[in-house]
Amino acid sequence: MLSSRTDGRRGEMAEVAPRVACVGECMIELAELDGGRLARTYGGDTLNTAVYLARLGVDVDYVTALGDDPFSNAMLDGWREEGVGTGHVLRLPNRLPGLYLIRRDACGERSFFYWRDRAPARDLFELPETPAISEALAEYGLLYLSGITLSLYGEAGRERLLQALEHAVARGVRVAFDTNFRPRGWPDFAQARSAYRRTADFATFVLASTEDLELLFGNVRPMDVMPGSEAGELVLKLPELACRIFGNAVDEFVAAEPIAEVVDTTAAGDSFAAAYIAARLQGAAPVMAARAGHLLAGMVVGYPGAIIPRESMPAAFVKENANA
């Protein structure tokens, strides 16, 4: 698979297979079933993207911190089975991963309830191992993180993450940033706006939604608040099941095909990001990458939960469309 290396010029692609690192948090997921029963699995926005990237043939690692408990062990086993690398997952003794519960309404829209204040992932950039993790990030071809990633850490930890991004970009690493804004994770919106702008300044790919940007910045032009790097592109997801792509002399509207039945919208954006990035790393044009993203997201919302069965993945079809 073709990929990117910038050789000192951000955004210019070279035919080198990149390694991708997704940074964030994975939690225990509980989903309500009929009769008050619960189904347990795991999920998290950047982890979902990592799994779908791996299924699309991308060499991807997940960078986070977990506990030393059986649930953390099960997560690691599951990620490895999916082909996601775990060499930069820290293990903290006597700690448990975060937990969230999903409730879905009749239209498939979901509400989340979290128990995560003591989750190990929140300490990733405030540990003795943090300098080694920060240096390791500069060895990848592309780093992927989200607005939820930024919200995990306190001010000191977030500053260390941003410094790590700056160091990585100076080494030629590209950054993909999904805005994925959750107001509950940000008691101070001014801090959120600053962190978002600084992260976008490093990014080659910014994947945003009008809903995210309006919640955080109000009624402003997306390019005024999420410009990305000079050589980058902004993929703006719109309410009408479409996206608009800006950047590099591109201004394109790409609509999704109608979806017959929406079961669960969990991970729709995460899977879109995975297919878009995978296609771009394969050399697809932005429009074709967006079509691949719509295709995979449309499949994902037809299943309950964040990760669809592996046998249901339209991987070959996604690749075929991306390279059309």
Helix/strand/coil percent split, the chain, to 5: 40, 25, 35
Task: Report which of 111, 55, 114 is spatially closest to residue 308, judged by C-alpha positions.
Answer: 55
Q: Which of 45, 212, 264, 270 is catalytic?
A: 270
CA 253 to chain centre: 22
Number of Cβ atoms within 10 Å of the Cβ of 156: 10
Q: Decide if 25 contacts 89 (C-beta within 8 A).
A: no
The residues, ordered by sequence, that sit 6+ positions from 226 with a Cβ below 8 Å of its Cβ are 179, 196, 197, 200, 206, 208, 213, 234
DSSP symbol at 256: P
For residues 56 and 308, what is the distance between their CA atoms, to the nearest angstrom?
13
DSSP symbol at 85: B
Element (H, E) at 208: strand 205-209
Number of Cβ atoms within 10 Å of the Cβ of 112: 13
Element (H, E) at 317: helix 315-322
For residues 314 and 319, what is the distance between their CA atoms, to the nearest angstrom?
9
In the residue annotation, 270 being an active-site residue is answered as yes
Residue positions annotated with a catalytic role: 270
